[in-house]
Amino acid sequence: MNVDQADPDELVALRAAFGVDDDGESALGWQAVRSFEAAHGIVLPEPYRTFVAEVTDGSSSGPPDYGLLPVAELPSDWGDHEQQRDLSAPFPLTKSWLWEEDEDPADDADELLGQVYNHGSVVLGTDGCAMNWHLVVAGPHRGHVWLITDVGAVPFGAQFGFTTGGCGFAGWVRHWAENKPWDDAA
């Protein structure tokens, strides 16, 4: 997983997975990507960065089940979290955390929970029922995709034991494209 340079073959696969054939009309464009990054004090990880700049900024088809959100949007069921989102603050986790099963939570568990939702990630989209996919944009897990639900958070990818899929945005999309859970024709 290279978070600093886009692989042209990955971009072709991403375009195919989302069925984008509008020659970049639905893309955000490089100026808008750089403005978003400057406003938030981050650099989006590749290949997601080039994907939203040149391919498309959001898609009604999956992944996830309810489509890929534009880079600056949150799911409609996001709710009113107390903490302000800070994309430049490091995403706080490096391993799974199921807070619903945490029998001895730390004193700062509520603060950490707020950081899980609001620090260092963009929300890729939702599978509904508060099951949101995040792309980490700051911190040690930059470039990794995480599933954050109302009961816990787990990193996506074979190296974490979550699936047999590859890590990062391209691995996450490839896993979904191979299984096409949103494809009614399958």
pLDDT band at residue 179 under the 50/70/90 scheme: confident
CA-nearest of 86, 64, 94 to 77 is: 64
Contact 124, 68 (CB under 8 A): yes
- What count of other Cβ atoms lies within 10 Å of the Cβ of residue 30? 13
Q: Is residue 77 part of a domain?
A: no
| pLDDT score at 182 | 47
- What count of other Cβ atoms lies within 10 Å of the Cβ of residue 62? 21
Q: Is residue 76 part of a domain?
A: no
**How many Cα atoms within 13 Å fall on the side-chain side of residue 140?**
5
pLDDT of 157 higher than 90: yes
| pLDDT score at 28 | 95
Where does the chain show beta strands of DSSP type E?
121-126, 132-136, 145-148, 153-155
pLDDT band at residue 181 under the 50/70/90 scheme: low
The answer, yes or no, to whether the previous bond of 155 is cis (omega within 30 of 0) is no
Q: Is residue 98 part of a domain?
A: yes
Read off the tokens for 79. 């709710």
Q: Which domain holds residue 37?
A: 8-70+84-179
All residues at 6 or more sequence positions from 103 whose CB lies less than 8 Å from its CB, including other chains = none
Most confident of 72-76, 93-97, 112-116, 138-142: 138-142
pLDDT of 46 higher than 70: yes
Q: Is residue 153 part of a domain?
A: yes
All residues at 6 or more sequence positions from 178 whose CB lies less than 8 Å from its CB, including other chains = none
pLDDT of 65 higher than 60: yes
CA-nearest of 5, 90, 93, 87 to 48 is: 5
Q: Is residue 184 part of a domain?
A: no
| pLDDT score at 81 | 55
If one counts the domains in the chain, the total is 1
